[in-house]
Chains A and B, each alone.
Chain A
Amino acid sequence: MQRFINDPDDIVDETVRGFVKAHGDLVRQHPENARVVVAQGAPVAGKVGIVTGGGSGHEPAFIGYTGRNMVDAVAVGELFSSPTAKSFLDAIRAADGGSGVCVLYGNYAGDNMNVKMAARMAAKEGIEVLTVVANDDICSAPPEERDKRRGVAGEILMWKIGGAKAAQGASVREVQAAAQKALDATRSVGVGLAPCTLPANGKPNFEIPAGRMEIGIGHHGEPGREVVDLASADGVADEMLRIVLDDHDLGAGDEVCVLVSGLGATPVNELYVLYNRIESQLSERRIRVHKPFVGNYFTSLEMMGATLTVMKLDEDLKALLAAEAASPGLGVSA
């Protein structure tokens, strides 16, 4: 493995320590739990707390979205493995400003269980906890089983909207509703070109043959819809957009937020090549990109590939998207 590793067992703790040192203006380590990162200034008295968490290896997700008017506390798991219920509970406690906490996370079996248990324990302590479970990954289940779909890069937009709503002083139910609305307006699709390797295993989790691409691949290499010959960048962009538009209620005159993220090993310039085509194709359909994000926002170790996320906007979502926020992974100026 051509990777920067000391002991695979230490990689998550070392990641968190380095992250906190690098971004001390925005985040801090939880004083008692090495697997929780808290925003500087959190909890804010009277403000609804925003919590998320998930396995490591997706940086800047999840820790990178801790910050001002974003996520207040993040639970950190092993590589590709859910954080413990205890870490979710400590994150909930650290985010609680007395007005309740919204846990905004992705639809994975381990996360579902650990969040459910943490919420139960927090409720015993008198903290009101509501959840929104992201399920933006189109190819992970058919439309009639949308509740089985996994959460991917659309989670970032859910955090942005939920964080902005909480910063306005909304109630915990209003924050939950805003995050759910953002999610319902969002669809994502991934394309994988080469697999990723967990350091402890030493070999790739799955295979994608040279010259082929996996359409609809998940964030941990979960099988996609099909493996086909690698197309040109424009061909890949068109296919990703087709999948999103087939599943999404979008038409001429609509405005959208578009997020193109690399999966870890894809050169950033190629993400702009994809975005160039995606924007042109949307323009041709008279769908206007109100706000684009292009970069490595939600990765999967060194997987090669990209994800496309599209959120349909209304005036309410546009205002929340534009609200000032600062986190290592995403910032919006006032």
Chain B
Amino acid sequence: MSGFANAGAGAIVREIAAVIVANKAYLSEIDGRIGDGDHGNNMAKGFGRAAERVADGDTLDAGFSKLSDVLMSEIGGSMGPLYGMMFDDMASAIAGQDTVDAEAFGAMLAAGRDGVMAIGEAQVGDKTLLDTLCPAVDAFAGTAGEFAAKLEAMKSAAAEGRDATKDMVARVGRSSRLGERSRGVLDAGATSCCMILTALADGVARRLG
């Protein structure tokens, strides 16, 4: 079974951060329609700072740990702990592995999802990042075949999950106060989560041996 070398894969965190920083204004704009409009700013601040701290030889888990540290220690609010927990648990799942194969990667994704669900109160369907994350994790696990094919399935499911939040009514977080008025707009967290998973999948696919 194919896999990718853990050493050096920490650079994927920089690739994820580049996407988040490039979409800073877009994320803040969709957040502003039903939230407080600071999602892009906070995400770009956290991911940008983490990218500066990732060293060339860092493993993927080292990169995730650095990202998690920044999110938890400098960002706060709700997204800091949610993504901080996700990356912390993902890092723990692959720590110490020289090569990360599809099975280990799937376990890492599941650990990240479980971390978000343990710290937050949301369920699938509440118009949150879980609506992107959960189907993406399931698609990776449920798709037969090579690592690359599983990554493609994960990306598709993430995008579909993100798009599905448009017709949902928010049930947790600040936008839940709007009730029916939250319908018709993408959830900012689900959107940033899709960017993260897509950049992660692309980064891994480029490194598969």
Contacts and interface: CB of A to CB of B under 8 A. Distances in A.
Interface of A: 77-78, 80-87, 109-110, 112-114, 116-117, 198, 200-201, 205, 222-223
A109 B72 contact: no
Nearest to B32: A201
Contact of B72 (A81, A85, A222): A85
B77 interface: yes
Q: How large is the interface on B (under 10, 10 to 19, 20 to 34, 35 or more residues)?
A: 20 to 34
Contacts of A200: 38
B197 to A, nearest CB: 21
A117 B115 CA distance: 11
Nearest to B72: A85
A81 B45 CA distance: 15
A30 B122 CA distance: 34
Given A113-B119, A201-B36, A223-B177, 8 more contacts: A77-B77, A81-B77, A83-B76, A86-B74, A87-B76, A109-B78, A110-B81, A113-B78
Contacts of A82: 76-78
Q: Which of B38, B78, B120, B173 has the most CB of A within 10 A?
A: B78
B135 interface: no
A109 B76 contact: no
A205 B84 CA distance: 28
B75 interface: yes
B151 interface: no
Interface string B51-85: 00000000000000000000011111110111011
Nearest to A198: B36
A117 B82 CA distance: 10
A117 B75 contact: no
Contact of A77 (B37, B76, B85, B121): B76
B120 to A, nearest CB: 6
A116 B84 CA distance: 13
B121 A81 contact: no
